[in-house]
Amino acid sequence: MREFEYLRMNTLQEACSLLSEYKDEAKVLAGGQSLLTLLKLNMISPSYLIDIKFIPELNYMDFDEKEGLKMGALTTHRTVEKSPLLKEKFTVLPETELVVASVQTRNWGTIGGTLVHADPIGDIAPPLIVLDSRVKLISADGERTVPLAEFFVDFFMTVVEENELLCEIQIPALPAHTGVAYQKFSTIEAGIKIAGAAAMVSLDDGLCKDAKIALSAVAPVPMRALKAEEILKGKPLDDRLIEQAAQAAAAEADPVTDMHATDEYRRELVKVLVKRAAKMALERARAS
């Protein structure tokens, strides 16, 4: 491994200033769960590692009905999994965390880190996308907010510039009669994910007022299945309509064949997972 200088940050301002100075010579270190593997494999060789893990300004979780949820980038998977607030307000997030890696990885890995790493098989992006999340990016030059659905650019690539930090994840409060669910499939428990699907269904007077479907591991980036969503919107939902939406989502997916599964198999899984997630979201919307 190439030698690098380790720099431990205490404030956001300090981190932004160094990122602005070192640009592509530096890498941000949060929980290190993905970054250390890349370093060990010599897939990256930064001159400086800027450790943000101890910046208190990036570690918080606030909620109010008007502003929704705001969570610092350093919030760990384990904090999300265990949060009583999230269990009450955004049940799908703690539920999803139960199928993310091991407790050790969840203890270290952060939500900011998993989003910026942008592995197309990541679990937390699809539920965050159907929850209409946005992320706040900050640099020495200012800040901007980007919808998560527009955050991922390509395999392991996001809109984050080399001088920017992801500092906050924002999720609006859920409207009444809304349900959200996530489903994934791996060939072995805790193994490589083959496909994943999240669904959000919002009801008004028995009709589907809004629907969102997001897929992972079946395209270079976590993606919305927009045609599938249109099939559901404005109609009374039943099994037949959900089946049609699931078929549309499978057609929209852009999976590859690799050593874990064929593209055809992944498409078939999308059908099954979208159906399961949409039915579960519908049940939850009816019950809420």
Ligand X SMILES: Cc1cc2nc3c(=O)[nH]c(=O)nc-3n(C[C@H](O)[C@H](O)[C@H](O)COP(=O)(O)OP(=O)(O)OC[C@H]3O[C@@H](n4cnc5c(N)ncnc54)[C@H](O)[C@@H]3O)c2cc1C
Which residues, in sequence order, are CB contacts of 179 under 8 Å at separation 6+?
A: 200, 201, 280, 281, 282, 283, 284, 285, 286, 287, 288
Q: Check residue 165 for interaction with ligand X (CB under 6 A).
A: yes
Residue from 87, 117, 136, 177 in contact with ligand X (CB under 6 A)? 117
* Percent of the chain as helix, strand, coil, to the nearest 5: 40, 30, 35
Residue 58: how many other CB atoms lie within 10 Å:
25
Q: Check residue 35 for interaction with ligand X (CB under 6 A).
A: yes
Q: Check residue 134 for interaction with ligand X (CB under 6 A).
A: no
Give the per-residue contact string, 52-81, with ligand X (x = CB under 6 A; - = no): x--------------------x--------
Phi (first) and psi of residue 279, to 5 degrees: -65, -40
- The nearer residue to ligand X, 106 or 275, going by C-beta atoms, is 106
Kindly determine how many residues on this chain lie close enough to bind ligand X according to the rule CB under 6 A: 28
Residue from 9, 18, 27, 171 in contact with ligand X (CB under 6 A)? 27
Q: Check residue 126 for interaction with ligand X (CB under 6 A).
A: no
Residue from 18, 55, 71, 124 in contact with ligand X (CB under 6 A)? 124
Which residues, in sequence order, are CB contacts of 268 under 8 Å at separation 6+?
A: 250
Q: Check residue 223 for interaction with ligand X (CB under 6 A).
A: no
Q: Check residue 105 for interaction with ligand X (CB under 6 A).
A: yes
Q: Check residue 179 for interaction with ligand X (CB under 6 A).
A: no
Which residues, in sequence order, are CB contacts of 243 under 8 Å at separation 6+?
A: 275
Q: Check residue 148 for interaction with ligand X (CB under 6 A).
A: no
Which residues, in sequence order, are CB contacts of 126 under 8 Å at separation 6+?
A: 182, 196, 197, 198, 214, 215, 216, 222
Footprint on this chain of ligand X (rule: CB under 6 A): 27-35, 52, 73, 100-101, 105, 108-110, 112-114, 116-117, 122-124, 160, 165-166
